[in-house]
Amino acid sequence: MSNADLPSNAVQLQYATISGTKNECYTGLSKREYFAGLAMQGLLSNPEAGVDEAPNDAAEYAVKQADALLKELEK
């Protein structure tokens, strides 16, 4: 699992199957989703950003910003 796919808030569930195999899963937003949401929030708070005319462009830009942040954090 890449860093981008890890949860933004550490909530880990562990459970055992009938066969005794231990499994784990995470709940909530991934770091990528969380960072993209923060970037989108910043874009939407700026009335001069022009996101009203091109909301898909704003969403793509927010995801690109999240990916850039995750790449920088990997260093």
Instruction: DSSP for 22-40, please give it.
Output: EEEEE-S-BHHHHHHHHHH
Q: Between 3 and 38, where is the model more confident?
A: 38
| pLDDT at site 47 | 78
Single pTM value for the model: 0.70
Is-contact 70 36, C-beta < 8 A? no
| pLDDT at site 19 | 78
| pLDDT at site 11 | 66
Is-contact 65 35, C-beta < 8 A? yes
How confident is the model over 22-73, as pLDDT tens digits? 777 667 788 899 999 999 999 888 878 777 777 788 899 999 999 999 999 9
| pLDDT at site 26 | 67
